[in-house]
Amino acid sequence: MAMLNDKMETEIVRIAVQKSGRLQEGSIQLLKESSLRFSNGKDQLKTKAVNFPVELLFLRDDDIPQYVEDGVADAGIVGENVFIEKQKNNKLVNRLNFGICRLSLAVPRSVEYTNIQWFNGKNIATSYPFIVRQFLEQNNIQAGIHEISGSVEIAPGIGLADAICDIVSTGSTLLSNGLKEVEVVLRSEAVLIAGPDLSAAKQSILDKLLFRIEAVQKAKNNKYILLNCPNEAIEPITRIIPGMKSPTILPLAKKGWSSLHSVVDENDFWEKIDQMKALGAEGILVIPIEKMIL
């Protein structure tokens, strides 16, 4: 690990993560992939990384923006939905590419839903009153908002509301409660938030962590690719997979052939593989990358 200077060693960044729920595992996994090691499990209220000046606080996700604003935590990992709803003095540092979900309006399956006008005069149960109010205003809908903090999905079934607005990830919660999703209000994912004015030392620790997180994220979006090709195909294949600077070319024992190593974006590699096969590439291996620093 890189040497940290004296000032930083005495400083520690406290990051609030969800105590239990959808984002907890992903949050810890991301920090572990960033090479932070934690000595004890998630049953604790807090835990220190043994090899990086970070302490995790395990809190209810809905409370995290407030703790970050108050400076009890320096940073936090929450759903963008919670970040937007709470309207606290937090800044969004980075999107984290996990915990992807949507905040949606849902109605009982028996409802013959045609369009958003259906919501006029209805009552909506939600834990996201701010976001829902904004959405209704933008769409010129007059509806009641009934704020509840949990188990929103049971509200229509017990006669508390006509509809709900809640997080949908797999959709299984809606399904098992006889509801159907009818309007997407917001798309969301986990985000790293931080307090408005961190000390220079804390900011520098957070920047180091962010650098690691970005390296992990880039790596996830890319694959290391190895293939064999006839020498005359090296140039056209290089144009398809230019890699980080340029591909590595190694001669094969078989005359007129080379091994070409490069990096390819996960999202378009199937299409590229077809093009390369057409140029004579064979023995193609695609390997995950753990960290990637440009």
Q: Which residues bind Zn ion (CB under 5 A)?
A: 61-62
Residue 165 or 237 having the CB closest to ligand PRP:
165
Min dist. Cβ of residue 171 to ligand PRP (A): 5
Considering only residues 112 to 141 of the shown chain, the ones binding ligand PRP according to CB under 6 A are 127
# of chain residues touching ligand PRP (CB under 6 A):
12
Instruction: By CB under 6 A, tell whether 146 contacts ligand PRP.
Output: no
Contact string 61-100 vs ligand PRP (x = CB under 6 A): x---------------------------------------
Among 86-94, 133-141, 170-178, 259-267, the segment contacting ligand PRP (CB under 6 A)? 170-178
**Closer of 61 and 69 to ligand PRP (Cβ):** 61
Query: Least distance from C-beta 169 to Zn ion, angstroms?
Result: 13
CB of 115 to ligand PRP, least distance (A): 23
Q: State in angstroms the smallest separation of the CB of 21 from ligand PRP.
A: 4
Beta-sheet pairing, 257-265 with 248-251: antiparallel
Partner whose footprint covers residue 170, from Zn ion, ligand PRP, none (CB < 5 to 8 Å by kind): ligand PRP
Which is nearer to Zn ion, 63 or 74 (by Cβ)? 63
Strand partners, 191: 78, 95
With binding defined as CB under 6 A, does residue 190 bind ligand PRP?
no
The single residue among 66, 97, 173, 231 that binds ligand PRP, judged by CB under 6 A, is: 173
Candidates 21, 71, 121, 242: give the one binding ligand PRP (CB under 6 A).
21
SS (H, E, C) the chain: CCCCCHHHHHCCEEEEEECCCCCHHHHHHHHHHCCCCECCCCCCCEEEECCCCEEEEEECHHHHHHHHHHCCCCEEEEEHHHHHHHCCCCEEEEECCCCCEEEEEEEECCCCCCCHHHHCCCEEEECCHHHHHHHHHHCCCCCEEEECCCCHHHCCCCCCCCEEEEEECCCHHHHHCCEEEEEEEEEECEEEEECCCCCHHHHHHHHHHHHHHHHHHHHHCEEEEEEEEEHHHHHHHHHHCCCCCCCEEEECCCCCEEEEEEEEEHHHHHHHHHHHHHCCCEEEEEEECCCCCC
Task: Give contact residues for ligand PRP (rule: CB under 6 A).
Answer: 21-22, 61, 127, 166-173
